[in-house]
Amino acid sequence: MLDKLTAKISDALRVVAGKATITEKNIDDAVDAIKMALLEADVNLRVVRRFVNSTIEEAKGEKVLRAVDPGQQFVKIVHDKLTAYLGDTKQDLQLKGPDTISVILMLGLQGSGKTTSSAKLALRLKKDGRKPLLAACDLVRPAAMEQLAVLGNQIGVPVYKEDGAKDSVAVFKDAMNHARKNMLDTLIVDTTGRLQIDEPMMAELSRLKDAAKPDELLLVADSMTGQSAVDIAKTFDEKIGLTGVILTKFDSDTRGGAALSLKTITGKPLKFVGVGEKPEDFEVFHPDRMASRILGMGDVVSLVEKAQEVIDQKEAEELRKKMEKENFTLEDYLGQIRSMKKMGSLQSMLDMIPGMAGQVSEEDIDKTELKYHEAIISSMTRKERANHLIIGPTRRTRIARGSGTSVAEVGRLLKKFEKMRTMMKKMSKMSRNPAAAQAMLGKMGQFQGR
Ligand SMILES: Nc1nc2c(ncn2[C@@H]2O[C@H](COP(=O)(O)OP(=O)(O)OP(=O)(O)O)[C@@H](O)[C@H]2O)c(=O)[nH]1
Ligand SMILES: [Mg+2]
């Protein structure tokens, strides 16, 4: 996710972040490097120009050059600017209370991810305590209704469809009645997409909009298409009117041009991003956290939140403390392997860890190894899991036999675990202090002689 952009920008910042004093030339160089990174990321030219001018002006002010820690000040300016372009603050859905039915219309071109995102949004709202109903109003593609029905079944959300129906407005009205009768409070309407924006499509959507009087009109756009996603949003907004955007396939978008230009060019907020094919692979969009990720500072808050959905809150807090104090045991590790399986795509999580974005990819993580680890730890006694230091040669042989692995494999796990504990300690400290993470990046840069 945004790997290329993150790599380039953190490189540019590394030069200034670790410095005790910085010059105007340092600032020019860093801004220049960031400018190149943004252009390569397919960020709209207007946005890039504004970014360059305002950053230079602010960074060359007294506040930065004379600051005790000018590098840090500069990083903060860049962080704040990126946050602003990404939309400033998180934009919640504007839905009515549970006594009236709220309607969300999902719009977008063919294959942009409307149907998948409808299901993802339904799951999200269900987790938030609402009672969603998915309405299949894409009547053009025969398989569309079935696809929605399968997804609804998978996430445990009801789907309203009428086989053979011809008029999406009629289906919508029936779906509304169905929601009313069944005490459901949020209607998510999946609509037809076409390859291009054309008159018949817009006419149908307008009719649907007039009938539905939706609370939210969300455009679903493929982030991989960069500026064209922004153009599409602009057109849809002019013709139909939008309340927000969902950018899909963010997991495969290494550049981020669409996300960074959208708000400035269209004035419409980015509300959610799709980060994978599974219904859970969906995130509320937080501009400030995304800015931190782009700067290579990670997004520990989202990571912890995601973990909290599967681990309970107390457990998550305990885990954090354990990581910090190096009290993290093999038992905890086993628990993590198991909850990781429930958390959805591993890549989207890796990118949230400070300093990890773009450094480690899902392929680098050996899933068979995790399976081995699970088997090995499962063959240990409780005492061994609580304190791995007691595991000597005899115990290793027993564990290897019990787990169907070898003594060497047990040894490798223990060595890896030891390393992991050290790294976790460092990371959990950094995560509480983004400035420290950035300073560490700076130091790494000096150390590597950059
Ligand atoms: N990797 C990834 N794939 C996605 C994401 N969102 C959707 N997809 C995939 O994109 C493809 C198209 O998704 P759909 O939800 O069917 O798109 P649609 O807009 O409903 O398409 P039409 O109904 O044909 O207009 C599917 O294979 C999805 O699995 C995402 O966030 N990440
Ligand atoms: Mg569809």
Q: For 359-386, what is each residue's pLDDT tens digit?
A: 556 656 666 777 888 999 999 999 999 9
Q: What is the mean pLDDT of residues 182-209?
A: 91
Q: Nearest C-alpha to atom 1 of ligand 1 is from which residue?
A: 276
Q: Give, for 428, the enclosing helix (H) or strand (E).
A: helix 407-431
Is 302 a pocket residue for ligand 1 (Cβ < 6 Å)?
A: no
Q: Which residue has the higher pLDDT, 321 or 157?
A: 157
Ligand 1 atom having least distance to the Cα of 138: 23
Residue 441: its pLDDT value, please?
44
CA–CA gap between residue 390 and residue 395 (Å, rounded): 8
Q: Which residue has the higher pLDDT, 154 or 339?
A: 154
Residue 141: what are its φ and ψ, rounded to 5°?
A: -90, 120
Is 252 a pocket residue for ligand 1 (Cβ < 6 Å)?
A: yes
Q: Alpha-carbon torsion 375, 378, 381, 386, what sign?
A: positive
Q: Nearest C-alpha to atom 30 of ligand 1 is from which residue?
A: 249
Per-residue pLDDT band for 314 (boundaries 50, 70, 90) equals: low
Is the pLDDT at 445 greater than 50, yes or no?
A: no
**What's the gap in Å between 58 CA and the centre of ligand 1?**
41
Residue 345: its pLDDT value, please?
58
Residue 67: its pLDDT value, please?
72
What residues does 103 pair with on adjacent strands? 187
Ligand 1 atom having least distance to the Cα of 275: 31
Nearest ligand by distance to the CA of 274: 1
Residue 329: its pLDDT value, please?
87
Per-residue pLDDT band for 440 (boundaries 50, 70, 90) equals: very low
Is the pLDDT at 211 greater than 50, yes or no?
A: yes
Ligand 1 atom having least distance to the Cα of 274: 31
CA–CA gap between residue 360 and residue 423 (Å, rounded): 14
Per-residue pLDDT band for 351 (boundaries 50, 70, 90) equals: low
**Is residue 239 a contact partner of residue 204, using CB atoms and an 8 Å limit?**
no
Task: Pick from 277, 282, 283 the residue to mutate for probing ligand 1's pocket: most ligand atoms within 8 Å of its CB.
Answer: 277
Q: Which residue has the higher pLDDT, 4 or 258?
A: 258
CA Rg value for the chain: 25
Is the pLDDT at 72 greater than 80, yes or no?
A: no
Residue with tokens 């756009």: 221
CA–CA gap between residue 341 and residue 202 (Å, rounded): 42
Q: What is the mean pLDDT of residues 412-420?
A: 88
Per-residue pLDDT band for 449 (boundaries 50, 70, 90) equals: very low
CA–CA gap between residue 95 and residue 247 (Å, rounded): 20
Say what percent of the chain tops pLDDT 90.
53
Which of 236-250, 276-290, 330-344, 348-362 bottoms out in mean pLDDT, i.e. has the lowest?
348-362
Q: What is the mean pLDDT of residues 96-121?
A: 94
CA–CA gap between residue 404 and residue 196 (Å, rounded): 56
What average pLDDT is seen over the chain?
84
Is the pLDDT at 212 greater than 60, yes or no?
A: yes
**What's the gap in Å between 164 CA and the centre of ligand 2?**
17
Residues 6 or more apart whose Cβ sits within 8 Å of residue 196 = 109
Task: Pick from 124, 245, 248 the residue to mutate for probing ligand 1's pocket: most ligand atoms within 8 Å of its CB.
Answer: 248
Per-residue pLDDT band for 307 (boundaries 50, 70, 90) equals: low
Q: Which residues of 317-353 are buried (b: 16+ CB within 10 A; e: fewer)?
A: eebbebbbeeebbbbbbbebeebbeebbbbbbbbbbb
Q: Nearest C-alpha to atom 13 of ligand 1 is from which residue?
A: 113
Which of 166-175, 256-265, 435-444 bottoms out in mean pLDDT, i.e. has the lowest?
435-444
Say what percent of the chain tops pLDDT 70.
82
